[in-house]
Amino acid sequence: MNIKVTKRDIAKEISSYLNRSITLEQIVDWAENMICEAEYEEKDFELIKEVLSRLGLADVKEFGLSWDDCYNYLSRLGYQVKVSIYSAQVDRVKVMHQI
């Protein structure tokens, strides 16, 4: 398999997790697969390796994956985190990922 994982790829996965599009198990599986099978963008090799390693351990009780963890990972990956909250009563809510 010849996959190259980038900071943007990781940010997308974290965003999907925070928006509950994927589960903790899914982000952990994705991170573990990327650790085993993917190549990393060379200029960000150490950062990508570190964040993927932490995401891969997120299902271990001692590590977990908190909102603060996600915020810090996204910031380190070069993304600004902004939360938008909408009324649950709105019929149509369009959530757009800015990544």
- Report pLDDT for 98: 61
Domain boundaries, the chain: 3-76
Helix (H) or strand (E) holding 5: strand 3-5
Q: For residue 29, which amino acid is it?
A: D
Written as tens digits, the pLDDT of the chain (99 aa) is 578 999 999 999 999 999 999 999 999 999 999 999 999 988 999 999 999 999 999 999 999 999 999 999 999 999 999 988 888 776 555 555 566
Q: Give the global pTM.
A: 0.84
For residue 53, what are its two tokens?
């390693």
> Are 32 and 56 in contact, with CB atoms under 8 Å apart?
yes
Rg of the chain, C-alpha, whole Å: 14
Q: What is the pLDDT of residue 88?
A: 76
